[in-house]
Chain A
Amino acid sequence: MVKKPIYVDNHATTRTDPRVVDAMLPYFTEHFGNAASRTHDFGWQAADAVDTGRTQVADLVGARATEIVFTSGATEANNLAIQGITKKYSGEPHHVITVVTEHRAVLDPCEMVEQQGGCVTYLAVQPDGLVDVHELDRAVRPDTILITVMTVNNEIGVIQPIADIAKVARAHGVPLHTDAAQALGKTPVEVDQLGVDLLSMSAHKMYGPKGVGALYIKGGTRRTALDPLIYGGGHEQGLRSGTLNVAGIVGFGCAAGLCSNEFMAELDYVKRLRDRLWNGLNDRVSDIRLNGSMDRRVHHNLNVSFSGVDGEALLIGLDDIAASSGSACSSESHAPSHVVKALGVDDNLARASIRFGLSHDNTDAEIDYIVNKVADMVRHLRALSPLRKDDVSHEENDPVVTRWLGDR
């Protein structure tokens, strides 16, 4: 018997590992000190815990502890990276390169750059969701001050060729930022191998707590010229003021350790689950479209469109399966996913997209339950559509039907 509801929305957030929670708890009650208190044991203990967490997080990505600035999460880290650089150029021409499939936490700061007088190029992606590195190379201008490309896409899970992009960035002398929130614990992330200057992280996407993340800054604060966004005490080498979230940092560090030592070893298991899901759905359901490259994708992700079925309707029908349609941030609006649309998919097929985000906590039995339930619900909803060929014989010349069928 499978325990329900089944959680397969691990791109939205992950379950905090119980060992992470255990590590955090003493820092609320027993060792509750402020890491900035330099005159007593409470403060020293908190500062020691922060140092340990910083080292653990740095180790996860092959960085030095001095290169890690703690933030409230990846959204803040992205804002710090993008606005922190562009602020320095206010009043003079500056240009940022990003990609249309980025998360809102990158796209919205980029829109802010435009509002403040900068210029932004939003690169299209290829039909498999990947950036064309040559196109990126051609987009670089003399006034380009930043390139920002996510490591792993949060909707379709594709892994961008960051190391190749870094070569282009380096050739032009432009700093490269990557939002790695969806990559950590899912695919190897090593800052020197990737060649990035700035890298955003989030604890809650990798089995840590919400409310804590970090920005990796190559060489620490001296090398990369960043301006802070938040002032008030000069914490984090002056780049991010505010009392440190000690318990959160302890949890983040613990989760980072688990990722390196344990979760990365479970990738084959997760891949087997994902393949079981994909093959099972293909066996049971016709007209499925895979959104994004299968080869260059984290094993935790499957994003598919069932033609003729609205993704949101499917999710309402699947009331004991927690998956998502589009990104969690935009599903209230029911706008078709901007990421799936960027693959060249029409609005209806984009609205038909479902994102499954698997983790090492999922099981074969859960996958089999999902396959059966999804197949049944897709059949049910397709039968409910007035746009089926066999159903519209009487209305063949109706402009509404003609247009919708032409659409598909």
Chain B
Amino acid sequence: MKHSPDVIDHVQHPRNVGSLPVDGIDVGTGLVESPEHGVVTRLQIKVDSATGIINEARFKTFGCGFAIASSSIVTEWIKGQTLNKALAIKPADIEKALNLSASKRHCSVLAEDAVKAAIADYRKKRG
């Protein structure tokens, strides 16, 4: 199957690449992996404590291009969203947006896991 132009675009020009201070009280960090597929993603969010809205998102991914594209696209989606809205993103949404084949499902699942892990880390910090 031909790669979707969106996948190529996200690999060549990934959005929101980078890091936020892990110790920041308003920062949540999710580090997730899929060793059998050779993928590690770190996704971070910075949350406005007054509004509960994610105002910054950063990611870094080692792994195949579909994993990079999946994590890149979710950072775009969660910016400006409430935590609950961000939690509502499903792997199927990513698969549809990037036209992923069934064999790449683990990439979209991992991106979802990264969002969940970052939010869980933020909520744990805030008690």
Contact with A along B32-55 (1 / 0, CB 8 A): 110001101110000000000000
Choose one: B3, B23, B42, B62; the contact of A316 (CB below 8 Å): B3
The interface residues of chain A lying within 8 Å CB-to-CB of B86 are none
Chain A residue nearest to B1 (CB atoms) is A332
Q: Check if A336 sits within 8 Å of B60, measured CB to CB.
A: no
Instruction: Assess the B23–A384 pair: CB atoms within 8 A.
Output: no
Q: Is the CB of B33 within 8 A of A404?
A: yes
Q: Is B115 an interface residue (CB 8 A)?
A: no
Tell yes or no: B88 within 8 A of A by CB: no
CA distance A24 to B65 in the complex (A): 41
Within 8 Å CB of B22, what residues of A?
394-395
Among A313, A383, A386, A391, which residue has its beta carbon within 8 angstroms of that of B64? A313
Q: Are B61 and A384 in contact (CB under 8 A)?
A: yes
Contact mask B10-41 → A, CB, 8 Å, 1/0?
01101001010111000001011100011011
Q: Are the CB atoms of B14 and A319 closer together than 8 Å?
A: no
Interface bits A311-341 vs B (CB < 8 Å: 1, else 0) = 0110111010000000000001110100000
A398, CB-defined interface residue at 8 Å: yes
In the bound complex, what is the Cα–Cα distance between A394 and B103 (angstroms)? 34
- Interchain CA distance A87-B112 in the complex, whole Å: 51
B13 to chain A minimum Cβ distance, whole angstroms, is 9
B44 to chain A, nearest CB (A): 10
Measured CA separation A380–B11 after assembly (Å): 9
Measured between beta carbons, the chain A residues less than 8 angstroms from B91 are: none
Does any Cβ of A come within 8 Å of B63's Cβ?
yes
A378-406 vs B, Cβ < 8 Å mask (1 yes, 0 no): 00110111110001001100101100100
**Alpha-carbon distance between A124 and B17 when the two chains are bound, in angstroms:** 42
Tell me, in angstroms, the Cα distance from A336 to B66 when the chains sit together.
Answer: 16
Q: Closest chain A residue to B32 by CB distance? A: A400
Task: Looking at the assembled complex, report how far the CB atom of A334 sits from the nearest CB atom of chain B, in whole angstroms.
Answer: 6
B40 touches A313 (CB 8 A): no
Secondary structure type dominating chain B contacts? mixed
Q: A310-B62, A310-B63, A316-B8 are in contact. Are A384 and B40 (CB under 8 A)?
A: no
| A157 within 8 Å of B (CB atoms) | no
B68 beta carbon closer than 8 Å to chain A: yes
Q: Is A386 a contact of B11 with CB atoms below 8 Å?
A: no
Q: Enumerate chain A residues within 8 angstroms of B64, measured Cβ to Cβ.
A: 310, 312-313, 316, 334, 351
How far, in Å, is A406 (CB) from chain B's closest CB?
Answer: 12
Residue A209, interface by CB 8 Å? no
Asked if B7 lies at the interface with its beta carbon under 8 angstroms from chain A, I say yes
| Contact, CB under 8 Å: A384 / B14 | yes
A60 to B43, CA, bound (A): 57
Give the distance to chain B from A11, nearest Cβ to Cβ, in Å.
21
Interface residue from B62, B66, B68 paired with A387 (Cβ < 8 Å): B62
Q: How many residues of A contact B (CB 8 A)?
A: 29
Query: B38 contacts A310, CB within 8 Å?
Result: yes
> Which of A312, A347, A351, A384 has the most chain B CB within a 10 Å cutoff?
A384
The residue that B21 contacts in the complex, of A308, A312, A384, A394, with Cβ under 8 A, is: A394
Q: A313-B68, A316-B64, A387-B40 are in contact. List 19 more A-B contacts (CB 8 A).
A: A310-B62, A310-B64, A313-B63, A313-B64, A316-B8, A316-B65, A319-B8, A348-B38, A381-B68, A384-B14, A384-B61, A385-B61, A391-B19, A391-B60, A394-B22, A400-B32, A400-B33, A400-B40, A404-B33
What are 15 A-B pairs with beta-carbon distances under 8 A?
Answer: A310-B62, A310-B63, A310-B64, A313-B64, A315-B65, A316-B3, A316-B7, A316-B65, A334-B38, A334-B64, A347-B38, A386-B40, A395-B22, A400-B32, A404-B33
A398 touches B7 (CB 8 A): no
Chain A: minimal CB distance from B6 (Å): 11
On whether the beta carbons of B40 and A334 are closer than 8 Å, the reply is no
Residues of A near B37 (CB, < 8 A) are 334
**Does B31 lie within 8 Å of A401, measured CB to CB?**
yes
> What is the chain A residue whose CB lies nearest that of B69?
A316
Residues in A with CB closer than 8 Å to B65 are: 310, 312-313, 315-317
Q: For residues 367 through 386 of chain A, which have their beta carbon under 8 Å from a beta carbon of chain B?
A: 380-381, 383-386
A332 touches B103 (CB 8 A): yes
The contact string, 1 if C-beta is below 8 Å from chain B, for chain A 334-368, is 10100000000001100100000000000000000
B38 CB to nearest A CB, Å = 5
Shortest distance from the beta carbon of B40 to any chain A beta carbon, whole Å: 6
Contacts of B31 in A (CB 8 A): 386, 395, 398, 400-401
How many angstroms between the C-alpha atoms of A333 and B106 in the bound complex?
11
Please name all residues of chain A whose beta carbon is closer than 8 Å to the beta carbon of B11 when the two chains form the complex: 313, 316-317
Contact yes or no, A394 B38, CB < 8 A: no
